[in-house]
Homo-oligomer: A and B are copies of this chain.
Amino acid sequence: MAKIDFKEKLTSENDILAAELRKQFGEDDLFALNLVSSPGSGKTSLLERTLSELGSQLEMGLIAGDVQTENDADRLIRAGGKMVRPIVTNGACHLDAKMITRVLSSFKLRALDVLFIENVGNLVCPSSFDLGEDMKVVLISTTEGDDKPLKYPAMFRRSSLMIINKIDLLGHSDFDLERVKKHARQINGEIEIIELSCRTKEGLDDWFSWLKENVRHKQSMPA
């Protein structure tokens, strides 16, 4: 699934739909993020924290993709999400632009500052499917291996920001913070990096600042 010929990709239905989505997000001054990671790295926890801390400052729309269950969407609604839509892929290993287009008709995009798209937990396949997002954000947690950027390079190459979650658990494994940062920069010299813990809240302010700064930047751009 992740092996797609470049020419084929350019002309694929997904890319045409993704381009339309990107145009729409631009017209609506909407900052759209595609959150990708392994299962269990903390995408939903990060969004829960973001909703409860920034809910009064930013209007957020959330799409929660999962192979099965609407558990993540339910968690986001409980955390205060007012515009949350689940996408259950029924076995498919990634979200695609068509799924986003379909669910987006129920959003009032004009009213939103940010759209979070929480992809299926999978470090491989989602890297090949453009969803029209402004940026991909890849999460990695300190309980995974610190060689993940080298082992899943496409995902780290295509991400603008790497969030290292669960820094409260540093020391409980051989995970080396400097090594993972070195590996990520080796794959992608431009990648930004934020370290945090959704559990203890350490570092969350860096993420909130990054997010607000990028929303401001998007809204200041000519459509």
Question: Which A residues have a C-beta under 8 Å from some C-beta of B?
Answer: 1-3, 38-40, 44, 66-69, 71, 90-93, 120-125, 141, 143-145, 147-148, 150-154, 166, 168-169, 172-173, 199
> With A67-B124, A120-B124 given, can you name 16 additional A-B contacts, CB distance below 8 Å?
A1-B125, A2-B91, A3-B91, A38-B38, A38-B121, A39-B145, A39-B152, A67-B154, A68-B150, A68-B153, A69-B151, A91-B124, A121-B151, A122-B125, A169-B169, A173-B199
Q: How many copies does the complex hold?
A: 2
**Which one of B3, B67, B68, B120 contacts A90 once the chains associate, using CB atoms below 8 Å?**
B3
Which chain B positions have C-beta within 8 A of A144? 39-40
Inter-chain contacts of A71 with B (CB < 8 A): 147, 150-151
Bound complex: CA A199 to CA B150 (Å): 23
List, in ascending order, chain B residues with CB within 8 A of A141's CB: 40, 143
